[in-house]
Chain A
Protein backbone atom coordinates (compact mmCIF):
# COMPACT_ATOMS: atom_id res chain seq x y z
CA UNK A 1 0.00 0.00 0.00
CA UNK A 2 1.35 3.43 -0.82
CA UNK A 3 1.00 6.19 1.71
CA UNK A 4 1.16 9.71 0.42
CA UNK A 5 2.55 11.95 3.08
CA UNK A 6 0.22 14.82 3.72
CA UNK A 7 3.24 17.09 3.75
CA UNK A 8 3.97 16.34 0.10
CA UNK A 9 0.80 18.07 -0.89
CA UNK A 10 0.91 20.74 1.79
CA UNK A 11 4.35 21.89 0.74
CA UNK A 12 2.99 22.64 -2.69
CA UNK A 13 0.30 24.99 -1.44
CA UNK A 14 2.04 26.12 1.69
CA UNK A 15 1.47 29.77 0.99
CA UNK A 16 -2.12 28.98 0.15
CA UNK A 17 -2.61 27.43 3.54
CA UNK A 18 -0.97 30.31 5.33
CA UNK A 19 -3.23 32.69 3.47
CA UNK A 20 -6.30 30.68 4.28
CA UNK A 21 -5.26 30.36 7.91
CA UNK A 22 -4.74 34.09 8.13
CA UNK A 23 -8.17 34.82 6.71
CA UNK A 24 -9.78 32.20 8.92
CA UNK A 25 -8.29 33.77 12.02
CA UNK A 26 -9.28 37.21 10.80
CA UNK A 27 -12.86 36.14 10.28
CA UNK A 28 -12.97 34.32 13.59
CA UNK A 29 -11.60 37.26 15.49
CA UNK A 30 -13.16 40.16 13.65
CA UNK A 31 -16.23 38.69 12.03
CA UNK A 32 -17.51 38.71 8.49
CA UNK A 33 -16.20 42.16 7.77
CA UNK A 34 -12.86 40.53 7.25
CA UNK A 35 -14.13 37.74 5.05
CA UNK A 36 -11.87 37.44 2.04
CA UNK A 37 -13.17 34.13 0.75
CA UNK A 38 -14.60 35.53 -2.44
CA UNK A 39 -11.49 37.50 -3.16
CA UNK A 40 -9.20 34.57 -2.55
CA UNK A 41 -11.28 32.45 -4.90
CA UNK A 42 -11.14 35.17 -7.50
CA UNK A 43 -7.42 35.53 -7.12
CA UNK A 44 -7.05 31.78 -7.50
CA UNK A 45 -8.97 31.93 -10.77
CA UNK A 46 -6.88 34.84 -11.95
CA UNK A 47 -3.77 32.92 -11.18
CA UNK A 48 -4.98 29.98 -13.24
CA UNK A 49 -5.78 32.19 -16.21
CA UNK A 50 -2.44 33.93 -15.95
CA UNK A 51 -0.64 30.60 -15.86
CA UNK A 52 -2.53 29.39 -18.90
CA UNK A 53 -1.57 32.47 -20.88
CA UNK A 54 2.05 32.27 -19.84
CA UNK A 55 2.39 28.58 -20.69
CA UNK A 56 0.70 29.07 -24.03
CA UNK A 57 3.04 31.94 -24.93
CA UNK A 58 6.21 30.19 -23.87
CA UNK A 59 5.58 26.60 -24.86
CA UNK A 60 2.52 26.61 -27.10
CA UNK A 61 4.42 26.16 -30.37
CA UNK A 62 6.71 23.49 -28.96
CA UNK A 63 3.84 21.39 -27.66
CA UNK A 64 1.76 21.91 -30.76
CA UNK A 65 4.59 20.84 -33.06
CA UNK A 66 5.26 17.68 -31.06
CA UNK A 67 1.57 16.81 -31.07
CA UNK A 68 1.38 17.45 -34.79
CA UNK A 69 4.33 15.15 -35.44
CA UNK A 70 2.24 12.35 -33.89
CA UNK A 71 -1.21 13.22 -35.19
CA UNK A 72 -0.61 14.98 -38.56
CA UNK A 73 -3.68 17.07 -38.06
CA UNK A 74 -4.16 20.63 -36.73
CA UNK A 75 -7.41 20.06 -34.86
CA UNK A 76 -6.09 17.01 -33.05
CA UNK A 77 -2.83 18.77 -32.22
CA UNK A 78 -4.75 21.74 -30.84
CA UNK A 79 -6.80 19.50 -28.60
CA UNK A 80 -3.66 17.85 -27.27
CA UNK A 81 -2.17 21.27 -26.59
CA UNK A 82 -5.24 22.28 -24.64
CA UNK A 83 -5.35 19.02 -22.73
CA UNK A 84 -1.69 19.38 -21.84
CA UNK A 85 -2.24 22.85 -20.45
CA UNK A 86 -5.29 21.72 -18.50
CA UNK A 87 -3.32 18.90 -16.97
CA UNK A 88 -0.62 21.33 -15.96
CA UNK A 89 -3.15 23.66 -14.36
CA UNK A 90 -4.92 20.82 -12.56
CA UNK A 91 -1.86 18.96 -11.36
CA UNK A 92 0.23 22.04 -10.53
CA UNK A 93 3.50 20.09 -10.54
CA UNK A 94 6.53 21.52 -8.83
CA UNK A 95 8.84 22.56 -11.67
CA UNK A 96 11.85 24.60 -10.72
CA UNK A 97 13.30 25.60 -14.07
CA UNK A 98 12.04 26.42 -17.55
CA UNK A 99 13.79 23.34 -18.90
CA UNK A 100 11.99 21.26 -16.35
CA UNK A 101 8.71 22.87 -17.28
CA UNK A 102 9.21 22.26 -20.99
CA UNK A 103 10.26 18.65 -20.46
CA UNK A 104 7.19 18.04 -18.30
CA UNK A 105 4.88 19.47 -20.92
CA UNK A 106 6.46 17.47 -23.73
CA UNK A 107 6.21 14.32 -21.64
CA UNK A 108 2.49 14.84 -21.08
CA UNK A 109 1.86 15.91 -24.68
CA UNK A 110 3.64 12.82 -25.97
CA UNK A 111 1.48 10.54 -23.82
CA UNK A 112 -1.73 12.31 -24.74
CA UNK A 113 -0.86 12.11 -28.43
CA UNK A 114 -0.10 8.42 -28.26
CA UNK A 115 -3.34 7.78 -26.36
CA UNK A 116 -5.24 9.63 -29.03
CA UNK A 117 -3.64 7.51 -31.77
CA UNK A 118 -4.48 4.36 -29.86
CA UNK A 119 -8.00 5.03 -28.75
CA UNK A 120 -9.47 7.82 -30.85
CA UNK A 121 -10.03 8.16 -34.54
CA UNK A 122 -7.54 10.44 -36.30
CA UNK A 123 -8.70 12.99 -38.74
CA UNK A 124 -7.17 12.51 -42.12
CA UNK A 125 -6.53 16.08 -43.21
CA UNK A 126 -2.89 17.04 -42.97
CA UNK A 127 -2.96 20.80 -43.10
CA UNK A 128 0.81 21.02 -42.92
CA UNK A 129 1.24 18.95 -46.03
CA UNK A 130 -1.40 20.98 -47.82
CA UNK A 131 0.40 24.15 -46.86
CA UNK A 132 3.80 22.92 -48.01
CA UNK A 133 2.33 21.78 -51.27
CA UNK A 134 0.56 25.08 -51.72
CA UNK A 135 3.90 26.85 -51.15
CA UNK A 136 5.54 24.67 -53.77
CA UNK A 137 8.15 23.66 -51.30
CA UNK A 138 8.79 20.16 -52.61
CA UNK A 139 11.94 19.87 -50.58
CA UNK A 140 10.05 20.45 -47.38
CA UNK A 141 7.01 18.36 -48.28
CA UNK A 142 9.42 15.60 -49.20
CA UNK A 143 11.03 15.72 -45.78
CA UNK A 144 7.71 15.89 -44.04
CA UNK A 145 6.43 12.94 -46.05
CA UNK A 146 9.48 10.90 -45.06
CA UNK A 147 9.29 11.81 -41.38
CA UNK A 148 5.53 11.31 -41.33
CA UNK A 149 5.99 7.81 -42.72
CA UNK A 150 8.29 6.78 -39.89
CA UNK A 151 6.88 4.54 -37.16
CA UNK A 152 5.90 6.59 -34.11
CA UNK A 153 8.76 5.33 -31.98
CA UNK A 154 11.36 6.54 -34.51
CA UNK A 155 9.62 9.75 -35.39
CA UNK A 156 9.23 10.96 -31.82
CA UNK A 157 12.95 10.67 -31.10
CA UNK A 158 13.82 12.21 -34.46
CA UNK A 159 11.55 15.16 -33.68
CA UNK A 160 12.93 15.69 -30.18
CA UNK A 161 16.54 15.23 -31.31
CA UNK A 162 16.60 17.24 -34.53
CA UNK A 163 13.92 19.81 -33.94
CA UNK A 164 13.98 20.36 -30.17
CA UNK A 165 17.71 19.75 -29.87
CA UNK A 166 17.49 17.37 -26.90
CA UNK A 167 20.24 14.93 -26.06
CA UNK A 168 19.34 11.25 -25.96
CA UNK A 169 19.42 11.23 -22.15
CA UNK A 170 16.87 14.03 -21.99
CA UNK A 171 14.72 12.38 -24.65
CA UNK A 172 14.77 9.22 -22.53
CA UNK A 173 13.38 11.17 -19.58
CA UNK A 174 10.70 12.90 -21.60
CA UNK A 175 9.50 9.73 -23.24
CA UNK A 176 10.00 7.57 -20.18
CA UNK A 177 12.26 5.00 -21.74
CA UNK A 178 15.85 3.82 -21.51
CA UNK A 179 18.51 5.90 -23.15
CA UNK A 180 19.76 2.86 -25.03
CA UNK A 181 16.32 2.49 -26.55
CA UNK A 182 16.32 6.14 -27.56
CA UNK A 183 19.71 5.78 -29.24
CA UNK A 184 18.72 2.71 -31.16
CA UNK A 185 15.40 4.23 -32.24
CA UNK A 186 17.17 7.37 -33.35
CA UNK A 187 19.70 5.37 -35.31
CA UNK A 188 17.01 3.29 -36.99
CA UNK A 189 14.90 6.37 -37.68
CA UNK A 190 17.86 8.00 -39.36
CA UNK A 191 18.45 4.92 -41.47
CA UNK A 192 14.85 4.84 -42.63
CA UNK A 193 14.93 8.52 -43.48
CA UNK A 194 18.15 8.01 -45.39
CA UNK A 195 16.50 5.36 -47.45
CA UNK A 196 13.39 7.43 -47.96
CA UNK A 197 15.26 10.56 -48.92
CA UNK A 198 17.73 8.62 -51.06
CA UNK A 199 20.63 10.53 -49.67
CA UNK A 200 19.31 13.67 -51.37
CA UNK A 201 20.07 15.62 -48.30
CA UNK A 202 22.99 15.77 -45.95
CA UNK A 203 22.46 14.58 -42.39
CA UNK A 204 23.64 16.59 -39.46
Chain B
Protein backbone atom coordinates (compact mmCIF):
# COMPACT_ATOMS: atom_id res chain seq x y z
CA UNK B 1 0.00 0.00 0.00
CA UNK B 2 1.26 3.40 -0.94
CA UNK B 3 1.57 6.47 1.24
CA UNK B 4 -1.20 8.28 -0.52
CA UNK B 5 -3.52 5.31 -0.05
CA UNK B 6 -2.67 5.19 3.64
CA UNK B 7 -3.13 8.91 3.94
CA UNK B 8 -6.45 8.67 2.15
CA UNK B 9 -7.54 6.05 4.59
CA UNK B 10 -6.49 8.27 7.48
CA UNK B 11 -8.51 11.15 6.08
CA UNK B 12 -11.57 9.01 5.56
CA UNK B 13 -11.96 9.05 9.33
CA UNK B 14 -12.69 12.73 9.10
CA UNK B 15 -16.15 13.46 7.84
CA UNK B 16 -19.11 15.71 8.50
CA UNK B 17 -21.31 13.85 10.93
CA UNK B 18 -25.09 14.39 10.99
CA UNK B 19 -24.71 16.19 14.32
CA UNK B 20 -22.04 18.48 12.91
CA UNK B 21 -24.18 19.16 9.85
CA UNK B 22 -27.25 20.14 11.82
CA UNK B 23 -25.11 22.26 14.15
CA UNK B 24 -23.59 24.19 11.26
CA UNK B 25 -26.85 24.63 9.37
CA UNK B 26 -28.61 25.76 12.52
CA UNK B 27 -25.90 28.35 13.18
CA UNK B 28 -26.10 29.60 9.61
CA UNK B 29 -29.89 29.90 9.82
CA UNK B 30 -29.49 32.17 12.82
CA UNK B 31 -27.06 34.42 11.03
CA UNK B 32 -27.96 37.67 9.39
CA UNK B 33 -27.03 37.75 5.75
CA UNK B 34 -28.77 41.09 5.19
CA UNK B 35 -27.97 42.44 1.80
CA UNK B 36 -24.47 43.74 2.10
CA UNK B 37 -24.23 43.34 -1.63
CA UNK B 38 -23.89 47.03 -2.18
CA UNK B 39 -21.91 48.18 -5.09
CA UNK B 40 -18.48 49.02 -3.88
CA UNK B 41 -18.69 52.46 -5.23
CA UNK B 42 -15.92 54.61 -3.92
CA UNK B 43 -17.57 57.79 -2.79
CA UNK B 44 -15.79 60.92 -3.73
CA UNK B 45 -15.33 62.46 -0.31
CA UNK B 46 -16.89 65.89 0.02
CA UNK B 47 -13.71 67.54 1.21
CA UNK B 48 -11.83 66.32 -1.85
CA UNK B 49 -14.65 67.38 -4.11
CA UNK B 50 -14.62 70.93 -2.76
CA UNK B 51 -10.85 71.06 -2.71
CA UNK B 52 -10.79 70.05 -6.37
CA UNK B 53 -13.38 72.66 -7.26
CA UNK B 54 -11.45 75.31 -5.37
CA UNK B 55 -8.27 74.31 -7.18
CA UNK B 56 -10.06 74.57 -10.55
CA UNK B 57 -11.34 78.02 -9.75
CA UNK B 58 -7.93 79.10 -8.55
CA UNK B 59 -6.36 77.98 -11.82
CA UNK B 60 -9.05 79.73 -13.83
CA UNK B 61 -8.60 82.90 -11.80
CA UNK B 62 -4.84 82.90 -12.27
CA UNK B 63 -5.28 82.28 -15.97
CA UNK B 64 -7.80 85.10 -16.30
CA UNK B 65 -5.62 87.54 -14.40
CA UNK B 66 -2.58 86.63 -16.48
CA UNK B 67 -4.54 87.16 -19.65
CA UNK B 68 -5.81 90.50 -18.41
CA UNK B 69 -2.30 91.59 -17.52
CA UNK B 70 -1.01 90.60 -20.92
CA UNK B 71 -3.78 92.54 -22.59
CA UNK B 72 -3.16 95.55 -20.39
CA UNK B 73 0.50 95.64 -21.18
CA UNK B 74 -0.18 95.78 -24.89
CA UNK B 75 -2.74 98.56 -24.58
CA UNK B 76 -1.13 101.02 -22.22
CA UNK B 77 2.39 102.39 -22.51
CA UNK B 78 4.50 101.38 -19.56
CA UNK B 79 4.69 103.97 -16.89
CA UNK B 80 8.26 104.17 -15.68
CA UNK B 81 8.49 106.55 -12.83
CA UNK B 82 6.92 109.87 -13.69
CA UNK B 83 7.03 109.63 -17.41
CA UNK B 84 4.36 112.09 -18.37
CA UNK B 85 4.15 115.81 -18.81
CA UNK B 86 2.78 116.95 -15.51
CA UNK B 87 1.55 120.35 -14.60
CA UNK B 88 1.97 121.30 -10.99
CA UNK B 89 1.09 124.36 -8.96
CA UNK B 90 4.30 125.54 -7.34
CA UNK B 91 8.06 125.56 -7.65
CA UNK B 92 8.25 123.31 -4.60
CA UNK B 93 5.96 120.77 -6.17
CA UNK B 94 7.88 121.09 -9.40
CA UNK B 95 11.11 120.33 -7.58
CA UNK B 96 9.52 117.28 -6.02
CA UNK B 97 8.19 116.10 -9.36
CA UNK B 98 11.42 116.38 -11.32
CA UNK B 99 13.59 115.30 -8.44
CA UNK B 100 15.88 118.31 -8.30
CA UNK B 101 15.74 121.76 -6.82
CA UNK B 102 14.09 124.35 -9.04
CA UNK B 103 14.66 127.97 -8.00
CA UNK B 104 12.44 130.61 -9.53
CA UNK B 105 14.14 133.32 -11.54
CA UNK B 106 14.00 136.72 -10.03
CA UNK B 107 14.14 140.23 -11.43
CA UNK B 108 12.00 139.54 -14.41
CA UNK B 109 11.42 142.63 -16.54
CA UNK B 110 7.69 142.35 -15.95
CA UNK B 111 5.28 141.42 -13.26
CA UNK B 112 3.86 138.00 -14.15
CA UNK B 113 0.13 137.64 -14.07
CA UNK B 114 0.04 133.88 -14.46
CA UNK B 115 2.64 131.20 -13.82
CA UNK B 116 2.56 127.69 -15.17
CA UNK B 117 4.80 124.99 -13.68
CA UNK B 118 5.38 121.98 -15.87
CA UNK B 119 7.52 118.90 -15.45
CA UNK B 120 8.54 117.16 -18.65
CA UNK B 121 9.17 113.45 -18.24
CA UNK B 122 10.82 114.03 -14.86
CA UNK B 123 13.78 115.53 -16.71
CA UNK B 124 12.98 119.14 -17.43
CA UNK B 125 11.33 121.68 -15.21
CA UNK B 126 9.65 124.59 -16.91
CA UNK B 127 8.11 127.72 -15.50
CA UNK B 128 6.23 130.03 -17.83
CA UNK B 129 5.40 133.52 -16.70
CA UNK B 130 2.99 135.62 -18.70
CA UNK B 131 1.50 139.01 -18.49
CA UNK B 132 -0.50 139.88 -21.51
CA UNK B 133 1.88 139.92 -24.42
CA UNK B 134 5.00 139.33 -22.35
CA UNK B 135 6.25 135.80 -21.74
CA UNK B 136 9.21 134.48 -19.86
CA UNK B 137 10.12 130.78 -20.10
CA UNK B 138 12.55 129.32 -17.61
CA UNK B 139 13.80 125.79 -17.98
CA UNK B 140 16.09 123.62 -15.95
CA UNK B 141 17.03 120.15 -17.03
CA UNK B 142 19.39 117.31 -16.21
CA UNK B 143 22.58 117.24 -18.23
CA UNK B 144 24.37 119.98 -20.14
CA UNK B 145 22.58 120.04 -23.45
CA UNK B 146 20.43 122.94 -24.58
CA UNK B 147 17.08 122.57 -22.86
CA UNK B 148 15.50 125.70 -24.22
CA UNK B 149 13.76 123.92 -27.02
CA UNK B 150 14.53 126.95 -29.08
CA UNK B 151 16.55 126.18 -32.20
CA UNK B 152 15.86 129.35 -34.11
CA UNK B 153 18.65 131.12 -35.93
CA UNK B 154 19.69 134.23 -34.10
CA UNK B 155 21.75 136.96 -35.69
CA UNK B 156 23.02 138.25 -32.38
CA UNK B 157 24.94 136.03 -30.00
CA UNK B 158 27.15 136.91 -27.08
CA UNK B 159 29.14 134.92 -24.61
CA UNK B 160 29.24 136.34 -21.12
CA UNK B 161 30.44 135.09 -17.83
CA UNK B 162 28.29 135.34 -14.76
CA UNK B 163 29.76 134.06 -11.53
CA UNK B 164 32.24 131.90 -13.46
CA UNK B 165 29.54 130.33 -15.58
CA UNK B 166 29.55 130.89 -19.32
CA UNK B 167 26.22 132.07 -20.62
CA UNK B 168 25.27 132.33 -24.25
CA UNK B 169 22.92 135.12 -25.10
CA UNK B 170 20.99 135.05 -28.33
CA UNK B 171 18.87 137.64 -29.94
CA UNK B 172 18.04 139.85 -32.93
CA UNK B 173 18.62 143.49 -33.46
CA UNK B 174 19.84 145.11 -30.25
CA UNK B 175 18.24 142.86 -27.63
CA UNK B 176 18.69 139.34 -26.50
CA UNK B 177 15.72 137.10 -26.02
CA UNK B 178 17.38 133.87 -24.93
CA UNK B 179 20.02 132.89 -22.38
CA UNK B 180 21.48 129.40 -22.20
CA UNK B 181 23.96 128.10 -19.65
CA UNK B 182 25.05 125.00 -17.81
CA UNK B 183 26.84 124.20 -14.61
CA UNK B 184 27.72 120.74 -16.03
CA UNK B 185 25.15 119.07 -13.81
CA UNK B 186 22.12 120.91 -15.07
CA UNK B 187 21.27 122.93 -18.17
CA UNK B 188 19.32 126.15 -17.91
CA UNK B 189 17.57 128.49 -20.29
CA UNK B 190 15.59 131.63 -19.92
CA UNK B 191 13.77 133.24 -22.79
CA UNK B 192 12.16 136.63 -22.67
CA UNK B 193 10.12 137.35 -25.71
CA UNK B 194 10.40 141.04 -25.05
CA UNK B 195 14.14 141.03 -25.41
CA UNK B 196 16.46 142.98 -23.14
CA UNK B 197 19.95 144.34 -23.26
CA UNK B 198 23.01 142.47 -22.16
CA UNK B 199 23.45 144.49 -19.03
CA UNK B 200 19.90 143.80 -17.95
CA UNK B 201 20.50 140.13 -18.64
CA UNK B 202 23.47 140.14 -16.36
CA UNK B 203 21.39 141.57 -13.56
CA UNK B 204 18.84 138.80 -13.90
CA UNK B 205 21.40 136.08 -14.35
CA UNK B 206 23.35 137.11 -11.33
CA UNK B 207 20.33 136.33 -9.18
CA UNK B 208 19.95 132.96 -10.78
CA UNK B 209 23.51 131.75 -11.05
CA UNK B 210 25.32 131.05 -7.83
Which residues of chain A have a CB within 8 Å of any CB of chain B?
1-4, 6, 8-10, 12-13, 16, 44-45, 48-49, 52-53, 56, 60-61, 64-65, 68-69, 74, 77-78, 81-82, 85-86, 89-90, 92, 128, 131-132, 139-140, 143-144, 147, 158-159, 162-163, 193, 197, 201-204
Contacts and interface: CB of A to CB of B under 8 A. Distances in A.
B9 interface: yes
A164 to B, nearest CB: 9
B68 to A, nearest CB: 37
Interface residues of B, number: 33
B36 A90 contact: yes
B33 A81 contact: no
Contacts of A10: 39
B101 to A, nearest CB: 71
B21 A49 contact: no
B33 A48 contact: yes
Contact of B1 (A13, A16, A202): A202
Contacts of A140: 6, 9-10
B29 interface: yes
A88 B15 CA distance: 20
Contact of A203 (B3, B9, B21, B31): B3
Nearest to B20: A78
B25 A56 contact: yes
Nearest to A61: B15
A3 B28 contact: no
